[in-house]
Chain A
């Protein structure tokens, strides 16, 4: 190895440094150059941590369950119908909505990285980014879904939807039986993130008795 000016030892000079230090250093350098404003960054983070989340998607689903015309628009042009409810933003372009039925079950993955419809679902959970989920759900979706607690009858076909920068898939889950009397708001409270990725069903009521799946 030839020394080039300064004596930085490694070819990948930052790879071995702790990530927290690297992030801090990067933030300092960018701030000093006037390229980022830490306060603007704080707002961006706060928005994603506290405001954007699966509740947006749940509202979309509840609207589709109660308004057939909205449902038709949603299935035809997901991005536009979702924007009608005020949800748009980065990674929200090209959202395609697919409907789960008794005959056909859709489940979403991003095999290459972690493409995910942020404006409606927030940021992806860790299992979505996990190499095991990304590889296995394509090969053996029925087994993976069963392991995640969703047993599907053999008569239900499974389609695995691979999200990419061109298309971000969003699942419109099946409305559970026994929810005919519920309002749109009550329905939205039943819809989980996992159901909109296609790894869970929406269960009927009562909301206060629902326990997180893991």
Chain B
């Protein structure tokens, strides 16, 4: 997945050391969702952070390098929303599967 962005000038993202803040669009959505929910008072940042710490500790312990930081972030967001009875894991799984059934190329 590639997105074209200006590399300098005022519109350039902060890519210190040549690195983009987000590697894929879903990462920025997951990030923005947590912040937006927190600002709206729907998500306790302490609960979210605890969930994130737990997810990261679990991954560190298992030595599974396949999942990056924003995987943990997303899982922690799901954990927190399920814990607060806002979106359950089951309904999220169902909606995800529904989205997966869309014909290929739906977003082009």
From A13, A23, A44, name the one whose CB has the most chain B CB atoms within 10 angstroms: A23
Q: Contacts A35-B42, A36-B40, A126-B69 known; A25 to B19 CB distance under 8 Å?
A: no
B contacts with A: majority SS: helix
Whether the pair B36, A26 counts as a contact (CB closer than 8 A) is no
CA distance A213 to B75 in the complex (A): 32
Q: From known contacts A29-B95, A45-B29, A49-B28, infer whether A194 and B16 are also in contact, taking CB-CB under 8 Å.
A: yes
| A121 CB → nearest B CB, Å | 9
Please, which residues of chain B bring their CB within 8 A of the CB of A131? 56, 59-60
Bound complex: CA A27 to CA B53 (Å): 23
Q: Mark B60-95, 1 if CB is under 8 A from A, else 0.
A: 100000001111001101100100001101111111
Residues of A within 8 A of B77 (CB): 26
Q: Is A24 an interface residue (CB 8 A)?
A: yes
User: A145 within 8 Å of B by Cβ?
Assistant: no
Nearest CB of A to B47, in Å:
11
| Structural contact, A126 and B19, CB atoms closer than 8 A | yes
* 19 residue pairs bridging A and B, Cβ less than 8 Å apart: A6-B94, A13-B90, A19-B30, A22-B92, A27-B33, A30-B37, A36-B40, A41-B33, A44-B32, A44-B36, A45-B29, A48-B35, A52-B14, A53-B16, A54-B14, A55-B14, A114-B52, A135-B60, A212-B16
20 further A-B contacts with Cβ under 8 Å, apart from A30-B87, A165-B46, are A13-B93, A14-B78, A19-B71, A20-B25, A21-B100, A23-B74, A26-B81, A26-B87, A26-B92, A27-B33, A30-B37, A36-B40, A44-B32, A48-B21, A48-B31, A50-B11, A53-B16, A55-B14, A114-B56, A214-B17
